Every structure is written in C-alpha cells, then in structure tokens.
C-alpha cells in the first residue's frame, strides 16, 4: 500500500499545491489531503484503508450517496452506446423537460459543464440583454473562478442579507447594473439563510429598475426541495444557474430562464456560447435517473424516502450537536436548512460573511482534527457547507453525535 505522504509528494510534482481544487488540500484545517479510493452509500474509503462517514458528499452533489445502484445501472447501459457524441441526443431534451417542469421559472435551458460555466454564461447573457456591464453581488457568495467575479471593475459588492444597501447601490448605479446574482441560500461561506423578505425584496428592486435577477442554485438546486430554493421561498428569478445534483455525480452545469432572454443565446440569437461536452449522454442519463428518483421521493413512496425524511434527519443531527455543545459549555451556532448545514464556533447569529469571519476558526480546526480521527468527514473548512444524503442512516447520525459529544468534552 502506497503511503499517503508519498501520494501527496507525487501529486505536488504535477498539480499546484498537489490538488485540482484548493479546498481539497485541507490547508483550511491545518491538515494534509486525503486520497479517496472508493465510495459507497454514506461512506468513503481512502487509499490508506481508512473509512469515513462522509458529510461532504462531493460538495453537495450526491443526493443518493456514493455509487447509487440505479444511477450506476443507467450509466453502464449508456456506456456501451457511447460516452460523447458531440451532437444532440434525446437525453438532453428529457432532462431539460424534467428540470423545467420542476422549476417553472426556467422556460428554456442550456446545458454546460460546470457551475462556473453556468454563472459566467448567465451573466454574459444579462450584459447583452440589458446593454449594461456591471454585476451586483454579495460578499461571501462564490459564483465560480472567473474574472467576472474577481476583477472589481466588473461588479459592485455588498453584504449578504443587506437589502437596504442593495436598494441604495442600485438606485445610484442602475444604469450600469445588468444583473444581481445571489445564492438564495449561501453555501460558500458556510450555510447562511436569507433573512425574511431579502429575496423578495431583491425581486421588487430588480423589477423596478429592469435588472436581471439571477439565482445561483448550483448548490441549492434540488437540495432542500424538488423545486429548488426559489420554490421554497416563492421568489422567481429571471435566470437560474444549476449544477451538482442535476448531473447525478458527473460534471455538469446549466442556466436557464425566461424565453425572451434565453432566445438571445446562439444559434437563436447572437450571444455565443458552446461546449463540446455540453449535454453529453453519460451526464444526461445520470441526471435523468437522479431527478426521477427525487420526483418519486417528492410524490411519496412505500419506503418513505422523501425530502421530509432527509431534512428531518439533518435537523435531528444538528439539534443533537447543539444539545451536546450546551452540555459541555461550547459556544456554537448551527445554520441548517433542509439537508445542508454548517457549524460555527461562535455565540452570535451568522447572517453574512462578516459574522462568519468572527467565528473561532482555531477551535473549528481543533474540532475538525479530532472528529476526523474518529472517522467522521465534515467539509474541511469552517467556511463550507455539509450535506446529508438519502444514503445516511440513523446509525451514521448516532455515531456522529456520540463522537461529537466526546470531543466537545475535550475542546
């Protein structure tokens, strides 16, 4: 068996920092990266033979856990027929229909290959549709590694949940602002819920100044309910960005919305966007299978595997961790909605990036190191989200709570 240390050193020869995505380095928790060999259900196994209960779930992608049998069966069937055609296949239309039926604001859709590609394409479309060239975005919301969101000349930035600032900035600069882009539920500074009327207020302001409202639901899409966050909060954006769950474990992204806007995309319009692997049959088949399974859970099944079950299980875990924290005098705030949650070692409510930054990161690192040694894998950063899948069991929850209890007594 090759030692993890040797795997890390070899990876560093070829990849910056030894990884292909920064958070995988585990630097945020002062640890070394893991190398995953396999995953099944709620568990992953590493190359050095260790097993973990996984609450990362490929960063929220795997609603049915690792290596779901039905998804694998559908993918294996398609593998025999081809992996990529570079031309249109029937599965694209089938998945598009299912998504558009589930999310009525998405009247038309374009498949791409990542969340970043979805958000950048949606913003480019908003620029061309409105004739304006600025974005209004919120501090701490991550919309992909693009200069559109990193170069300050492209955007105005205000705190998440600050409707007053949004109103003021838009009133002053509306002639420049093409779009407001927001995660309905923030997931990239930890889970942060929208305050009452925040999303609805953005809708009203955007309507007033004819600004495109974009919901980045790359994480949120199909996570807390079948119709996604916009259905839960009853606020319709003009454009929606999706990813993760709709690919069933394969690389994917999508953006869509009102027909009058989407028809500006080539070849119907002159906003050019293209991709060799967009709508590839493997991803589409995995996505169709996933959405079908989620639709069954929504409508109910003999097994009772519905959104309520997974959401209640998450709530049970979070409430139990809160109780253990109270017993051991550990200051903690847990933000949870549906099957996503984050732990913040702090006393104050966490409602934006500034309040998230005031958490005790050193304590989180100590907690993370200890819980990791007990076979529990939370997302390796105090500014990331955790997820429960339909594969997680009551036993997983009980073990996690038990280990958390012991560790809180040592913090």
pLDDT one-digit tens code per residue, 342-368: 999 999 999 999 999 999 999 999 999
CA distance 411 to 409: 6
Average pLDDT rounded to a whole number, residues 258-283:
97
200 and 148 belong to one structural domain: yes
pLDDT at 301 over 50: no
Spacing of C-alpha 364 from chain mean position: 21
Quick one: pLDDT at residue 302?
A: 42
Residues 226 and 102 in one domain: yes
Clarify whether residues 226 and 343 are in a common domain.
no
CA–chain centroid gap for 15, Å, is: 24
Strand partners, 110: 255
Mean pLDDT of the residues in the chain: 96
Beta strands per DSSP E along 75-124: 108-112
pLDDT score for 306: 87
Binning pLDDT at 50, 70 and 90, where does residue 64 land? very high
At 39 the pLDDT is: 98
d(CA 249, CA 66): 8
Task: Give the separation between CA 100 and CA 34, rounded to whole angstroms.
Answer: 38
Calculate mean pLDDT across residues 89-110.
Answer: 98
- Read off the pLDDT of residues 137-166 as tens digits, 9 standing for 90 and up: 999 999 999 999 999 999 999 999 999 999
The reply to whether omega before 267 is within 30° of 0 (cis) is yes
- Specify whether 197 is located in the same domain as 335: no
pLDDT tens-place string over residues 179-232: 999 999 999 999 999 999 999 999 999 999 999 999 999 999 999 999 999 999
pLDDT recorded at residue 297 = 61
Strand order in the sheet with 108-112: 108-112, 253-257, 239-243, 212-216, 177-182, 134-139, 155-159
Given strand 386-387, what is the order of strands in its sheet? 333-337, 340-344, 386-387
Active site residues: 142, 216, 244
358 and 384, same domain (yes or no): yes
Domain count, the chain: 2
Are both 293 and 333 inside the same structural domain?
Answer: no
Residues 272 and 235 in one domain: yes
pLDDT of residue 298: 60
Q: Are 326 and 409 within 8 A, CB to CB?
A: no
Residues 323 and 232 both lie in one domain: no
Q: Do the beta carbons of residue 160 and residue 138 sit within 8 Å?
A: yes
Same domain, 357 and 391: yes
Give the global pTM: 0.95
pLDDT at 131 over 60: yes
Domain with 54 in it: what CATH number?
3.90.1150.10
Q: Residue 390: helix, strand or coil by DSSP?
A: coil
Do 111 and 256 fall into the same domain? Answer: yes
Does residue 389 carry a pLDDT above 70? Answer: yes
* Residue 303: pLDDT band with limits 50, 70, 90: very low
Point out the domain boundary residue: 266, 299, 332.
Answer: 299
Sequence-distant (6+) residues with CB within 8 A of 103 are: 221, 227, 228, 230, 231, 240
Residues 6+ apart with CB under 8 A from 16: none
Residue 299: is its pLDDT beyond 70?
A: no
Residue 300 has pLDDT above 90, yes or no: no
The first and second tokens of residue 298, run together, are 């929504």
Q: Are residues 155 and 246 in the same domain?
A: yes
- 89 and 221 housed in the same domain: yes
State the residue range of the domain holding 59: 4-67+304-408
Last residue of a domain, one of 299, 320, 338: 299
- Quick one: pLDDT at residue 401? 98
- 3-class SS at 18? helix
Domain boundary among 239, 265, 299: 299
Across the range 32-36, mean pLDDT stands at 97
On the question of pLDDT at 305 being above 70, the answer is no
In this predicted model, what pLDDT tens digit does every residue of 321-348 receive, in sequence order? 999 999 999 999 999 999 999 999 999 9
Q: Which of 359, 370, 358 is nearest to 411 (CA)?
A: 370
* CATH number of domain containing 135: 3.40.640.10
């Amino acid at each position: 068996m090759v030692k993890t240390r040797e795997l890390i050193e070899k990876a560093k020869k070829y990849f910056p920092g030894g990884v292909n995505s920064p958070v995988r380095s585990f630097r945020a928790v002062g640890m070394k990266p893991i190398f995953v060999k396999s995953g099944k259900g709620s568990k992953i196994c590493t190359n050095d033979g260790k097993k973990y209960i996984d609450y990362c779930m490929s960063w929220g992608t795997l609603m049915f856990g690792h290596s779901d049998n039905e998804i694998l069966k559908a993918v294996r069937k398609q593998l025999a027929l081809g992996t990529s055609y570079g031309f249109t296949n029937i599965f694209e239309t089938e998945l598009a229909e299912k998504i558009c039926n589930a999310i009525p604001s998405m009247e038309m859709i374009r498949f791409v290959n990542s969340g970043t590609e979805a958000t950048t394409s949606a913003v480019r479309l908003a620029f061309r549709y409105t004739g304006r060239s600025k974005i209004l975005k919120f501090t701490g919301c991550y919309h992909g590694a693009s200069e559109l969101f990193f170069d300050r000349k492209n955007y105005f930035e205000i705190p998440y949940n600050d409707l007053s600032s949004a109103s003021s900035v838009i009133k002053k600069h509306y002639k420049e602002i093409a779009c407001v882009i927001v995660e309905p539920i923030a997931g990239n500074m930890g889970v942060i819920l929208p305050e009452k009327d925040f999303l609805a207020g953005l809708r009203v302001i955007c309507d007033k100044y004819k600004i495109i409202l974009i919901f980045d639901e790359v994480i949120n899409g199909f996570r807390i309910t079948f119709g996604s966050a916009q259905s839960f909060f009853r606020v319709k954006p003009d454009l929606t960005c999706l990813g993760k769950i709709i690919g069933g474990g394969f690389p994917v992204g999508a953006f869509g919305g009102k027909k009058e806007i989407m028809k500006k995309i080539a070849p119907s319009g002159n906003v050019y966007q293209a991709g060799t692997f967009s709508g590839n049959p493997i991803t589409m088949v995995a996505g169709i299978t996933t959405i079908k399974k989620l639709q069954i859970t929504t409508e109910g099944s003999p097994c009772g595997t519905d959104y309520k079950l997974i959401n209640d299980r998450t709530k049970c875990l979070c409430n139990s961790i809160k109780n253990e924290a109270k017993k051991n005098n550990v200051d903690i705030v847990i933000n949870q909605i549906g099957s996503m949650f984050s732990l913040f070692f702090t006393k104050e409510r966490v409602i934006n990036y500034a309040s998230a930054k005031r958490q005790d990161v050193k304590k989180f690192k100590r907690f993370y190191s200890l819980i990791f040694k007990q076979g529990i894998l939370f997302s390796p950063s105090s500014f990331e989200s955790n997820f429960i899948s339909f594969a997680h069991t009551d036993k997983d929850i009980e073990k996690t709570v038990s280990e958390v209890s012991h560790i809180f007594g040592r913090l």
